[in-house]
């Protein structure tokens, strides 16, 4: 579904739409306020006021162009009304992520570290295997994820690699991008426009409803979100992993103090 944009030229303070007028716009409409003349000096102040006042809206204050962009985000009621759909999307994300990881592991004949998959996938970043193709999927290993895109359907998914064999961590941006790119979900029963902001609201509300829950990560200070109704898998902490790697390195000859993150050459 496309979103239309209403453009309003603002030359004086009295031309600003009221907060109630802005609240009345639908999610299918975006509002662009373009400031002309002296009023532009107040643009950031006005934008900050609207951002503080308009709950459930996203107000973007352009740092260069003289404009504000305002959109209404998905509502809590819409999320609650479609909670079964979002729950199923999360389950599909988890299932497909696991399937693609093991498909790539098999193709490249990798020895998957099941406690810490990123350890295995980091090897691919050092050569031409970082980018490639498996079946009808292009893949790209980067950061804490391996991204996959179907060359036929365009479906897109970012599979997390720092939760052991749990591949269902839901990043707000990646989750909505997965939904929007998945042909089987269309036409959507409720529209999604803002990939990150709508995704964040969905994850927060679904967690409040008990449909999603927080999960630990292998990486210190990092957590994730996964669908609650799933087959739970053990996720080893970074301390558990360090013990495993210390023992492994000591067996190979390293008697000095072992630094796991230096060994893995990870940069957060």
Distance in angstroms (rounded) separating the CA atoms of residues 216 and 137 = 29
Extents of the domains making up the chain: 4-72, 78-227
Q: Are the CB atoms for 35 and 16 separated by under 8 Å?
A: no
Mean pLDDT of 218-224: 90
Q: Are the CB atoms for 108 and 124 separated by under 8 Å?
A: yes
Residue 199 has pLDDT above 70, yes or no: yes
| Predicted confidence band of residue 254 (pLDDT cuts 50, 70, 90) | very low
| Predicted confidence band of residue 256 (pLDDT cuts 50, 70, 90) | very low
The per-residue pLDDT for range 106-119, each reduced to its tens digit, is: 999 999 999 999 99
Q: Are the CB atoms for 197 and 58 separated by under 8 Å?
A: yes
pTM metric for this prediction: 0.87
Residue 220 has pLDDT above 90, yes or no: no
What is the per-residue pLDDT for 237? 77
In order, the DSSP letters of 238-262 are HHHHHHHHHHHHHHHT--SPP-HHH
Could you tell me whether strands 67-72 and 57-61 are parallel, antiparallel, or unpaired per DSSP bridges?
antiparallel
- In the chain, what percentage of residues exceed pLDDT 90? 84
The per-residue pLDDT for range 121-142, each reduced to its tens digit, is: 999 999 999 999 999 999 999 9
The per-residue pLDDT for range 160-198, each reduced to its tens digit, is: 999 999 999 999 999 999 999 999 999 999 999 999 999
Q: Are the CB atoms for 190 and 28 separated by under 8 Å?
A: no
The per-residue pLDDT for range 139-169, each reduced to its tens digit, is: 999 999 999 999 999 999 999 999 999 999 9
């Amino acid at each position: 579904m496309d979103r239309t944009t209403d453009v309003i030229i603002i030359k004086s303070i009295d031309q600003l739409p009221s907060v109630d007028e802005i609240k009345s716009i639908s999610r299918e409409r975006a509002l662009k306020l373009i400031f002309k003349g002296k009023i532009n000096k107040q643009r950031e102040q006005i934008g900050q006021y609207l951002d503080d006042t308009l709950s459930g809206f996203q107000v973007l204050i352009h740092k260069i162009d003289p404009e504000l962009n305002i959109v209404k985000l998905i509502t809590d009621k819409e999320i609650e009304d479609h909670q079964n759909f979002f729950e199923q999307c999360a389950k599909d994300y988890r299932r497909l992520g696991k399937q693609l990881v093991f498909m790539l592991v098999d193709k490249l004949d990798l020895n998957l570290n099941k406690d810490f998959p990123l350890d295995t996938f980091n090897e691919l970043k050092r050569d031409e295997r970082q980018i490639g193709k498996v079946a009808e999927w292009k893949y790209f290993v980067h950061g804490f994820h391996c991204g996959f895109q179907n060359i036929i359907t365009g479906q897109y998914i970012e599979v997390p690699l720092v939760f052991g064999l749990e591949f269902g961590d839901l990043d707000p941006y990646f989750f909505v991008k997965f939904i929007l790119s998945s042909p089987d979900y269309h036409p959507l029963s409720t529209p999604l426009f803002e990939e990150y902001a709508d995704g964040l609201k969905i994850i927060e509300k679904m967690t409040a409803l008990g449909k999603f829950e927080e999960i630990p990560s292998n990486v210190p200070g990092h957590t994730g979100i996964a669908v609650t109704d799933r087959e739970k898998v053990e996720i080893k902490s970074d301390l558990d992993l360090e013990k495993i790697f210390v023992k492994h390195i000591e067996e190979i000859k390293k008697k000095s103090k072992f630094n796991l993150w230096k060994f893995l050459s990870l940069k957060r």
